[in-house]
Amino acid sequence: MLELGLRRLARPATSRRLALALLGALALSVTGTASMLQAADPKLRVVATLPDLFILTRAVAGDLATVDLIARFGQNPHDMEVRPSQILMVRRADVLVRNGLEEDAWIDVMVHGAANPRMLRGSPNVVEASQGIEVLKVLTGRVDRSMGDVHPLGSPHYTLDPDNVALVTANIVAGLTRAAPEQARVLEANRQGFLEKVAEADRRWKSALAPFRGAGIVSYHDSWPYFYRAFGLVEAGVIEDRPGIPPSPQHLANLIRSMREQKVKVILHESWYPSDVTSRVAKETGAKMVVVAQSPGALKGTEDYIAHLDHLVSAIAAALK
C-alpha cells in the first residue's frame, strides 16, 4: 500500500518536470528565433526622387530593398511642394537616388529638413544617376530666373534614351552596393536581367520608328532631345520659348511659319501642361497633337520602363503615319 501511494504521488511530479522541460525548450526556441530575426539584415530603405529613377531602382533592387518615390506619378516635377511625409521618408532612408541635373533640386530642401547626413550631396549613400551620361543641351553664358525653368547643367530627361539605361542602372547598383556590399552579386544579376529585356524591347522600338527617321517633331516643352537622338527624329521646334512660361505671340507666329515650311506632322504635348496653346498651333499648322506622358506611371499601365516606352513609341509612330 505504501509503495502504491508513493508511485501515485510521484506521477504528478514527473508530469510537472516534463511540462517544465517542454516549456524550457519552447522558451529557448522562441529566444533563438528572435535572435535570428534580430541578426538578419533589414532591407535597405531607398528613396528615388522621380518616377523614372524609381522604376529603374526597383528593377535592379528587386526584393533586396524597399523603394519609395518622392514625386507622384504624373506630377510635373517643377510643381513640387515639400510635405512633412516626404521629409520623414528621407530621414529614414539609407540610399537616395537623384537625377543629378537639377530636375529634382527640391530634394535639397527635404534633405536639410530631414537632418540625415547620409543624404547630403557627396555622401556615398547618394546616387547621382546622371554620372557618365553624354549630357545634351548644356547651357553656356549667363543664366537667371528670367529664362524660366531652365537647366544650366543640361537636359535632365536622359532616361528617354534606352542606351542610357545601362549607365543609369550601373550608377544605381554601385550606390546600393556601397550601402550593402554583401548584395553586390544579386544586384548586378538583377541589372543584367533587366538590361536584356530593355535591349529586346529597344529592337522593337527602333523597328517601329525606323520608317520615320529624319521626321521633324515639335513639342510643348523641351523634354525630348535624348528620345529624338535615340530614334533618329529631329527637333523642329518647341512651343515654350522659355520653359514654364507661356510663349509670346511672336514666338508662336515664327514657330507656325516654320512648321508649315517643314511640313511638321506631330506635336508632342506633355500630359501635365494645359493644352489650349498646343491645340491652337496644331489647328494652324495641320499637325496632330499627341498627348504623351513624359515620365512613367502618368498613364495607367505605364508603371515600368518598358511599358512607358512602348506607349510613347506606338503613339508617335501612329501619329507619324
Tell me the C-alpha distance between 318 and 221, whole Å. Answer: 21
Residue 283, C-beta contacts closer than 8 angstroms, at least 6 positions apart = none
Domains of the chain as residue ranges with CATH = 44-203 (3.40.50.1980), 205-320 (3.40.50.1980)
Note the pLDDT tens digit of each residue in 208-265.
999 999 999 999 999 999 999 999 999 999 999 988 888 999 999 999 999 999 999 9
Report, as an integer, the average pLDDT of 68-80.
92
Task: Give the pLDDT score at 146.
Answer: 62
Reported as a pLDDT band with limits 50, 70 and 90, residue 150 is confident
Reported as a pLDDT band with limits 50, 70 and 90, residue 143 is confident
Q: Looking at the predicted structure, is the pLDDT value of residue 20 above 70?
A: no
Reported as a pLDDT band with limits 50, 70 and 90, residue 63 is very high
Tell me the C-alpha distance between 52 and 195, whole Å. Answer: 15
Note the pLDDT tens digit of each residue in 99-119.
999 899 999 999 999 999 999
Task: Choose the most confident range, by mean pLDDT, from 24-38, 83-97, 132-146.
Answer: 83-97
Reported as a pLDDT band with limits 50, 70 and 90, residue 4 is very low
Strands 95-98 and 234-238: unpaired
Reported as a pLDDT band with limits 50, 70 and 90, residue 163 is very high
The per-residue b/e assignment along 190-215, b for 16 or more CB within 10 angstroms, e otherwise, is bbeebbeebeebbeebeebbeebeeb
Q: Looking at the predicted structure, is the pLDDT value of residue 72 above 50?
A: yes
Can you give the pTM of this predicted structure? 0.85
What are the backbone dihedrals phi and psi of residue 46, each rounded to the nearest 5 degrees, phi first? Answer: -115, 140
How remote is the C-alpha of 235 from its chain's centroid? Answer: 25
What are the backbone dihedrals phi and psi of residue 15, each rounded to the nearest 5 degrees, phi first? Answer: -60, -40
Nearest CA among 109, 219, 246 for reference residue 155: 219
Nearest CA among 106, 102, 109 for reference residue 138: 102
Q: What percent of the chain has a predicted confidence (pLDDT) above 90? A: 76
Report, as an integer, the average pLDDT of 46-65.
97
Torsion of CA 317, 276, 284, 253, to 10 degrees: -110
Compute how many other C-beta atoms are within 10 angstroms of the C-beta atom of residue 308: 25
CA distances to 26, 197, 212, 224, 230 from 234, in Å:
71, 27, 10, 10, 10
What are the backbone dihedrals phi and psi of residue 269, each rounded to the nearest 5 degrees, phi first? Answer: -120, 115
Higher pLDDT, 149 or 291: 291
Report, as an integer, the average pLDDT of 278-287.
97
Higher pLDDT, 34 or 266: 266
Q: What percent of the chain has a predicted confidence (pLDDT) above 70? A: 86
Tell me the C-alpha distance between 165 and 81, whole Å. Answer: 28
Q: Looking at the predicted structure, is the pLDDT value of residue 152 above 90?
A: no
| Contact by Cβ (8 Å): 136, 225 | yes
- Work out the mean pLDDT of the chain and round it to a whole number: 88
Higher pLDDT, 26 or 292: 292
Reported as a pLDDT band with limits 50, 70 and 90, residue 145 is low
